[in-house]
Structure 1
Amino acid sequence: MNRKQIRGVYLVTDRPLCIHHSLEEVVRLAALGGVSFVQLREKETDSRTFLELAKHLKKILKPFSIPLLINDRLDICLAAEAEGVHLGQTDLPWWEARKLLGEKAIIGLSLETKEDYFSLIQTHPKPELDYLAVSPVFDTDTKTNTKEAWGLTGVTWLKKQTNLPIVAIGGIKESNAADVIQAGANSLAVVSAICSAKDPKLATENLSKKIHSVV
Structure 2
Amino acid sequence: MQFEAKMLRSYLVIGTQDLLAGQDLLALVEATLKAGVTIVQYREKGSAAIQNAADKLALAQKLKDLTTKYQVPLVIDDDVDLALAVGADGIHVGQSDQKMQQVVAKIKASAHPETFVGLSVSNLTQLANSDLTGVSYLGSGPIKATSSKADADPVIGLAGLTALVQATELPIVAIGGVSFTDDTVIAATGAHGLAMISAFTHAKDSELNTWVPKINQAFSK
Q: Once the 2 structures are TM-superposed, how far is the Cα of residue 205 of structure 1 from its aligned partner?
A: 4.4
Q: Once the 2 structures are TM-superposed, how far is the Cα of residue 78 of structure 1 from its aligned partner?
A: 1.2
Say if 2:183 and 2:218, in contact at 8 Å, map to a contact too: no
> What is the CA–CA distance in structure 1 between the aligned matches of 2:37 and 2:101, rounded to whole Å?
27
Residue in 1 that maps onto 2:73: 67
Q: What SS is found at the alignment partner of 1:59?
A: helix
Instruction: Give matches, 1:1-215, under 5 Å.
Output: 1-19=2-20, 21-43=23-45, 44-46=49-51, 47-102=53-108, 103-120=113-130, 124=131, 127-199=133-205, 202-203=207-208, 205-213=210-218, 215=221
Say if 2:143 and 2:155, in contact at 8 Å, map to a contact too: yes
The aligned amino acid for 1:166 is: I
Mark the runs of 5 or more structure 1 residues left unpaired by the alignment: none
Aligned length: 210
Distance 1:78 1:204, change over 3 A: farther
Task: State the TM-score, normalized to the length of structure 1.
Answer: 0.90
Deviations 1:86-115 (A, max 9, x none): 101111112221222235212100013321
Distance 1:197 1:5, change over 3 A: closer
Distance 1:208 1:157, change over 3 A: farther
Q: What SS is found at the alignment partner of 1:55?
A: helix
RMSD in angstroms over aligned alpha carbons? 1.8
> What is the CA–CA distance in structure 2 between the aligned matches of 1:68 and 1:128, rounded to whole Å?
18
Mark the runs of 5 or more structure 2 residues left unpaired by the alignment: none
Of 26-35 and 108-117, the range deviating more from structure 2: 108-117
- Tell me the percent identity: 30
Q: What SS is found at the alignment partner of 1:130?
A: strand
> What is the CA–CA distance in structure 2 between the aligned matches of 1:114 and 1:2, rounded to whole Å?
24
Q: What SS is found at the alignment partner of 2:188?
A: helix
Deviations 1:17-76 (A, max 9, x none): 433531000111111111111000111322222111100111111111111111111111
The aligned amino acid for 1:139 is: A
